[in-house]
Amino acid sequence: MFVALLSAVALATTWQQPPQPILEVLHAPQTPWPWTSPDAEHALLLRYVQYPPLADKAAAMVPLAGIRVDARTNGYHGWYGYGDPVLVHIETGEQTPLDLGGVRVLDVEWSADGDRLALTLKQEDHIGLWLGTPDGRGAIVPDLALNPLLGPEITWLPDQKRLVVLRVPADRSTVPEAPLVPPGPDTRQGEGGTAISTYEARDLLKTAHDDTLFTYYTTSQIGIVDADDLGFTALGPPAVYTDASPSPDGKYLLVERLRGPWSHRHAWWRFASDVELWSLPDGKRVHTVAELPLAESVPIHGVRTGPRFIEWRSSAPATLVWLEAQDGGDWSVEVPHRDYFMMQEVPHQDEPAIVFQAQHRVQNWWWGEKGGNLIVEQYERAERWRHVWQVDVDSRTGRPWFDLSYNDRYADPGRPVTRPLPSGHSVFLEEDGALFFVGTGSSESGDRPFLDRRALGSDRAERLFRCDPERYERYVAFVDPAAGTFLMFSESPTDPPNLHLVTLGDAVEAEPGEAVRARSTEVITSFEDPTPVLREIERRIITYEREDGVPLSFTLYLPPGYEEGIPLPTVVYAYPLEFSDAKTAGQVRGSEKTFTRIMGPSHLFFALEGYVVLHNTRMPVIGDPDTAYDTFVEQLVSGAAAAVEEAVRLGVTDPERVGVMGHSHGGLMTVTLLAHSDLFQAGIARSGAYNHTIRPFGFQSERRTLWQAKDTYLHLSPVMHAPEINEPLLLVHGAIDENPGTIAFQSERLFEAVRGVGGTVRWVSLPYEGHGYRAKESVEHVLWEQLQWFGRYVKKEG
Which residues carry out catalysis? 664, 737, 771
What proportions of the chain, in percent to the nearest 5, are helix, strand and coil? 15, 35, 45
- DSSP states along 408-459: -SSS---EE-EEE-TTS-EEE-EETTEEEEEE----TT----EEEEEETT-S
Distance CA 531, CA 24 (A): 8
Sign of the Cα torsion 449, 455, 458, 464 reads negative
- Alpha-carbon distance 35 to 108, whole Å? 7
Cβ atoms of 144 and 120 within 8 Å: the answer is no
**CA-based torsion, 264, 269, 275, 281: positive or negative:** positive
| DSSP-assigned letter for residue 308 | E
Sheet hosting strand 241-246, strand order edge to edge: 241-246, 252-258, 273-279, 285-292
User: Residue 670: helix, strand or coil by DSSP?
Assistant: helix
Answer yes or no: are the C-beta atoms of 571 and 555 closer than 8 Å. Answer: no
Specify whether the CB–CB gap between 78 and 68 falls below 8 A: yes
Amino acid residing at 108 = V
Strands across the sheet with 339-345, in order?
A: 307-312, 319-325, 339-345, 353-358
The answer to whether 254 and 244 are in contact (CB under 8 A) is yes
Give the residue from 196, 189, 198, 65 showing the smallest Cα distance to 694.
198
Q: How many residues does the chain have?
A: 798
Q: Rounded CA gap, 718 and 747, in Å?
A: 11
User: At a CB cut-off of 8 Å and minimum separation 6, what does 507 contact?
Assistant: 462, 515, 516, 517, 518
Query: Measured between alpha carbons, how far is 296 from 192 in angstroms, rounded to an integer?
Result: 11
Give the integer Cα–Cα distance in Å for 783 and 792: 14
C-beta pairs of 301-304 under 8 Å, 24+ apart in sequence: 301/197, 301/331, 301/381, 301/698, 301/701, 301/703, 302/328, 302/329, 302/330, 302/331, 303/329, 303/361, 304/270, 304/329
In three-state form (DSSP H/G/I as H, E/B as E, the rest C), the secondary structure along 94-123 is CEEECCCCCCEEEEEEECCCCCCEEEEEEC
Q: What is the DSSP string of 493-523?
A: SSS--EEEEEEEEEEEEEETTEEEEEEEEEE
Asked whether 537 and 531 are in contact (CB, 8 A), the reply is no
Handedness of CA 627, 629, 633, 636 (dihedral sign): positive
Q: In which element (H, E) is residue 23 found? A: helix 20-26
E strand segments, 250-326: 252-258, 273-279, 285-292, 307-312, 319-325
Q: Which positions ≥6 away from 730 have C-beta within 8 Å?
A: 682, 683, 684, 685, 761, 762, 764, 785, 786, 789
Q: Are 138 and 128 in contact (CB under 8 A)?
A: no
195 φ/ψ angles, rounded to the nearest 5 degrees: -70, 155
Residue 640 contacts residue 659 (beta carbons within 8 Å): no
Cβ atoms of 244 and 190 within 8 Å: the answer is: no
Q: What is the DSSP letter of 332?
A: T
Neighbours of 688 (CB within 10 A): 26
Torsion of CA 380, 437, 250, 217, to 10 degrees: 60
